Amino acid sequence: MSKHETFYDVIRQRGVSRREFLGFCAVTATTLGLGPAGAMTVAHAMETKPRIPVLWLHGLECTCCSESFLRSGHPQASEIITSMISLDYDDVIMAAAGDQAEEIVHDIIRDYRGEYILAIEGNIPLANDGMCCIVGGRPFRQQFDEAAKHAKAIIAWGTCASSGCVQAARPNPTKATPVHKLVSHVPVINVPGCPPIAEVMTGVLSYILTYDRLPELDNQLRPKMFYSQRVHDKCYRRAHFDAGQFVEKWDDDGARQGWCLYKMGCRGPTTYNACASMGWNEGTSFPIKSGHGCIGCSEEGYFDRGPFYERLPDMQQWGVESNADKIAVAGAAVLGSAIAIQTGATLVKRILTGKSLKDTPIEDAPETPGNQK
Amino acid sequence: MPKFIPYHRMPEKGLLPAVMVYGPGIRIWHWLNALSVVVLAITGYFIGIPPPSAIGDTSSLYVMGWIRLLHLAFGYTFALLAIMRLWLVFAEGGISHQLFLPAIWRKVWFDGFLRQIQWNLLLGGPLRYVGLNPLANVAMLTMFVIPGAIIILTGFAMYAEVTGHDSWQYLLFGWVTMLFGNTLDLHVFHRLAMWVMVWFSMAHIYIAVREDILSRQTVVSTMLSGERQFRD
Ligand code: HEM
Ligand code: SF4
């Protein structure tokens, strides 16, 4: 691995033609919203900038991020991006194994101290000294700490790495902890989603590699270019939401007509992601387009906010099977009975003592000491 | 009307002169506030659980749109009224500060609080006083003022989701989102706070009418005339 190699050199060595390369640059520039001149900016950067190695580590995860990434829409994209990163280290797709593979991690950390990008898929379980996730015979926590310390920036792939996802759902037995909570001096960028959209992943990587800086992030460290709008804001069923036309049952006429899935528990209104604008599988579809509500997979703690098919999430802390409205009804019932009992008791007392129903007579009034100001 | 009338007990016997306790501002505020809470609770309920689907074409239907518009318009009204209410404490005085600051550290107040509890358990008789009913005062603070603040904060934080990260709503209320992480929680807390206010309204209206009938002083009409009158 020569330090002076550019991205373009590596890409060409992989047998990608210049035509394909320029196609990739154009597609990437479009996803990033760079405008017509953007393609040339990306191409120029890739031709001149020295290649930055990407170390891709896997913690406690299901590999759906890798699955999504390898299926990115533009076929050249995956080829090009994987040639930027794969051969360095990614235990899912690399050929090396065992000590030989672990050595690569050491080499990169040593040779590119402070220069490499660390991509983390999955999170870090802290319970029982990290024994719930062992990589290369050691707790993942150790590999992560070594790699994180000298990285230039860390990309947290998916909801696992960004906020915990399924394995961090209550009661989180392995104490699965997202990346940004364990890193202090290295910038972290969260790319949530279970998995994130492939084009979002390649877009984020290309941006960082091309511009040598992180894209603009929001307060949850998500790149604004992909996560600043809710699914609800771009959803093609939004017209039915505004009109007040909702699917009430999975087999009703509204479902056939493609009405809004809000009443079926759609989490689009509280989910920041690009599904509704970019789509999945080369823009073929996305959950709502396939007739299923959004489950909010890119949001923190989404797995603890079920049921997915009801609009109001459960509040287990208030007892099994309760939600805001059930609590409200219980409270109102208690209060209503109190009012009824008090009114009834007052009436009975007045009638029994033969006193007027209006104004309490003075002899019943309590003595007040001093009537002070 | 004197500035800042403290809570104090009136003699149990005899006809007493009426006392002016609420200025016109507080009275207008009270009824506008009541109106906006009713509109907000109805539209808010339907935002969470929409009415049965409207039939027709989306080009002419705007059911949820209007419900949300009403809610947001009255949401702004409610928030502006809250600011007005704080300003009235200083502008109008009277007993208006007691809503935010029950005088728990004062002996008479605390005695009145215990006596109100007894009275509501049908032990002992009613009290006559100038000021807020101490028991009601606590309910107003915990079941209206605090949920009201939560509702305004979460309401504008949800509004910031609609207007986006570059809006003034986000600048002022975006931090509320950070407390929760998942913005679905904003909806849940907003809705819970609504139900607390609904409970409050039930108790508030009932107690106001009950006290007016039973405790030899005006309560309901005081919010119209501003005067607390005492009956023999
Ligand atoms: C008495 C006061 C209020 C009550 C009772 C109330 C009630 C509600 C309820 C029940 C919901 C539905 C929550 C859900 O299930 O998703 C809601 C939504 C909402 N409220 Fe309020 N609200 C009040 C004041 C406000 C204020 C002051 C604002 C600030 C502008 C506000 C803004 C909103 C917004 C933006 C939504 C979400 C709309 C949407 O998801 O389309 N509300 N409100
Ligand atoms: S289907 Fe979901 S995201 Fe789409 S408009 Fe309805 S609630 Fe919003």
CA separation for the pair B108, A26 (Å, rounded): 78
The structure's pTM equals 0.91
Asked whether A140 and A124 are in contact (CB, 8 A), the reply is yes
Query: Which band of pLDDT confidence, cut at 50, 70 and 90, is reported for residue B226?
Result: very high
Asked whether A162 and A192 are in contact (CB, 8 A), the reply is yes
Give residue-wise pLDDT tens across range A361-373: 655 555 444 443 3
Cα Rg of chain B, angstroms = 21
The closest CB to that of B49, out of A240, A311, A362, belongs to: A311
**For residue A298, which of A320, A274, A264, A321 has the smallest C-alpha distance?**
A274
- A239, closest residue in chain B (CA to CA): B58
**Would you say how long chain B is, in residues?**
232
Please list every residue in chain A whose beta carbon sits closer than 8 Å to the beta carbon of residue B124. Answer: 364, 366
Using a CB–CB cutoff of 8 Å, tell me whether B224 touches chain A.
Answer: no
Q: What is the DSSP letter of B50?
A: P
CA separation for the pair A52, A153 (Å, rounded): 11
CA separation for the pair B72, B156 (Å, rounded): 9
Q: Does ligand 1 have an atom closer than 6 angstroms to the CB of B71?
A: yes
Ligand 2 closest atom vs CA A269: 8
> In the structure encoding, which two tokens stand for residue A341, read together?
């009992």
Contact B53 A373 (CB under 8 A): no
Using a CB–CB cutoff of 8 Å, tell me whether B67 touches chain A.
Answer: yes
- B175, closest residue in chain A (CA to CA): A219
Q: Is A151 exposed, middle or buried (0-12, 13-18, 19+ CB in 10 A)?
A: buried
Q: How far does the CA of residue A361 sit from the closest CA of chain B (Å)?
A: 9
Phi-psi label, residue A165: left if phi above 0, alpha if psi -120 to 50, beta otherwise: left
> In the structure encoding, which two tokens stand for residue B60, read together?
């002419």
Give the closest residue (by CA) to ligand 1 atom 3.
B40
- ipTM of the predicted structure? 0.92
Q: For residue A71, how far is its CA from the centre of ligand 1 (angstroms)?
A: 41
Q: Does ligand 2 have an atom closer than 6 angstroms to the CB of A264?
A: no
The closest CB to that of A244, out of B54, B161, B185, belongs to: B54
Using a CB–CB cutoff of 8 Å, tell me whether B197 touches chain A.
Answer: no
Q: Is A361 exposed, middle or buried (0-12, 13-18, 19+ CB in 10 A)?
A: exposed
**Average per-residue pLDDT for chain B:** 93
Ligand 2 closest atom vs CA A294: 2
Three-state DSSP state, A134: strand
Computed from CA positions of residues B170, B172, B175, B180, in that sequence, does the dihedral angle turn out positive or negative? negative
Termini Cα distance of chain B: 24
Give residue-wise pLDDT tens across range B103-155: 999 999 999 999 999 999 988 888 888 999 999 999 999 999 999 999 999 99
Helices then strands (H, E): number in chain A?
16, 9
Dihedral angle, C-alpha A340, A341, A343, A345, nearest 10 °: 160
CA separation for the pair B203, B214 (Å, rounded): 16
Give residue-wise pLDDT tens across range B61-75: 999 999 999 999 999
CA separation for the pair B178, B172 (Å, rounded): 12
Asked whether B29 and B81 are in contact (CB, 8 A), the reply is yes
Q: How far does the CA of residue B48 sit from the closest CA of chain A (Å)?
A: 7
Q: How far does the CA of residue B27 sit from the closest CA of chain A (Å)?
A: 25
Instruction: State yes or no: pLDDT of B49 exceeds 90.
Output: yes
Asked whether A68 and A201 are in contact (CB, 8 A), the reply is yes
**pLDDT the model gives residue B196:** 97
**For residue B162, which of A217, A289, A238 has the smallest C-alpha distance?**
A238
CA separation for the pair A294, A287 (Å, rounded): 6
Contact B53 A230 (CB under 8 A): no
- A245, closest residue in chain B (CA to CA): B53
Q: Does ligand 1 have an atom closer than 6 angstroms to the CB of B152?
A: yes
**pLDDT the model gives residue A46:** 83
**pLDDT the model gives residue A1:** 47
Phi-psi label, residue A283: left if phi above 0, alpha if psi -120 to 50, beta otherwise: left
**pLDDT the model gives residue A362:** 59
Q: Does ligand 2 have an atom closer than 6 angstroms to the CB of A265?
A: no
CA separation for the pair A340, A332 (Å, rounded): 12
**pLDDT the model gives residue A105:** 86
> In the structure encoding, which two tokens stand for residue B114, read together?
């215990």
What are the structural domains of chain A?
Answer: 7-227 (3.40.50.700), 231-304 (4.10.480.10), 324-364 (no CATH)
Asked whether A15 and A60 are in contact (CB, 8 A), the reply is no
Using a CB–CB cutoff of 8 Å, tell me whether B123 touches chain A.
Answer: no
Q: How far does the CA of residue B182 sit from the closest CA of chain A (Å)?
A: 5
- B51, closest residue in chain A (CA to CA): A244
Average pLDDT over residues B159-172: 91
Q: For residue A260, how far is its CA from the centre of ligand 2 (angstroms)?
A: 5
Please list every residue in chain A whose beta carbon sits closer than 8 Å to the beta carbon of residue B206. Answer: 339
Helix B184-214 vs helix B146-163: angle between axes, to the nearest 10 degrees? Answer: 150
**E strand or H helix that includes residue B20:** strand B19-20
Please report, for residues A216, B69, B162, B186, the alpha-carbon distance to residue B166 in angstroms, rounded to integers and kept in the order given. 13, 21, 11, 19
* Spatial CB neighbours of A154, under 8 Å, sequence gap ≥ 6: A117, A118, A119, A120, A148, A179, A183, A186, A187, A188, A189
> In the structure encoding, which two tokens stand for residue B146, read together?
């605090």
**pLDDT the model gives residue A371:** 40
**pLDDT the model gives residue A3:** 57
Asked whether A305 and A297 are in contact (CB, 8 A), the reply is no
Give residue-wise pLDDT tens across range A274-284: 999 999 988 89
Q: Does ligand 1 have an atom closer than 6 angstroms to the CB of B19?
A: no
CA separation for the pair A41, A44 (Å, rounded): 5
> In the structure encoding, which two tokens stand for residue A86, read together?
């794969």
Contacts A–B by Cβ distance under 8 A: 162
Q: For residue B164, how far is its CA from the centre of ligand 2 (angstroms)?
A: 17
Q: Is A168 exposed, middle or buried (0-12, 13-18, 19+ CB in 10 A)?
A: buried
> In the structure encoding, which two tokens stand for residue B12, read together?
């149990």
Contact B215 A360 (CB under 8 A): yes
CA separation for the pair B115, A31 (Å, rounded): 70
> In the structure encoding, which two tokens stand for residue B156, read together?
């504008």
Using a CB–CB cutoff of 8 Å, tell me whether B64 touches chain A.
Answer: yes
Residue among A236, A242, A267, A272 with most chain B CBs within 10 A, to mutate: A242
CA separation for the pair A236, A268 (Å, rounded): 11
Using a CB–CB cutoff of 8 Å, tell me whether B124 touches chain A.
Answer: yes
**pLDDT the model gives residue A314:** 87
CA separation for the pair A202, B41 (Å, rounded): 45
**pLDDT the model gives residue A361:** 64
Give the closest residue (by CA) to ligand 2 atom 5.
A238
- For residues B184-208, one letter each, b for 16 or more C-beta atoms within 10 angstroms of the residue's C-beta and e for the rest, the string is bbbbbbbbbbbbbbbbbbbbbebbb
Q: How far does the CA of residue B32 sit from the closest CA of chain A (Å)?
A: 24
- The runs of H, that is alpha helices, within chain A are 7-13, 18-31, 38-48, 64-70, 75-85, 98-111, 127-130, 140-149, 158-163, 198-211, 224-227, 231-234, 238-243, 253-257, 275-278, 324-353
Please list every residue in chain A whose beta carbon sits closer than 8 Å to the beta carbon of residue B165. Answer: 218, 224, 228
State which residues of chain A have pLDDT below 50. Answer: 1, 86, 367-373
CA separation for the pair B73, B60 (Å, rounded): 22
Q: How far does the CA of residue A341 sit from the closest CA of chain B (Å)?
A: 10
Q: For residue B54, how far is its CA from the centre of ligand 1 (angstroms)?
A: 22
Please list every residue in chain B whose beta carbon sits closer than 8 Å to the beta carbon of residue A343. Answer: 210
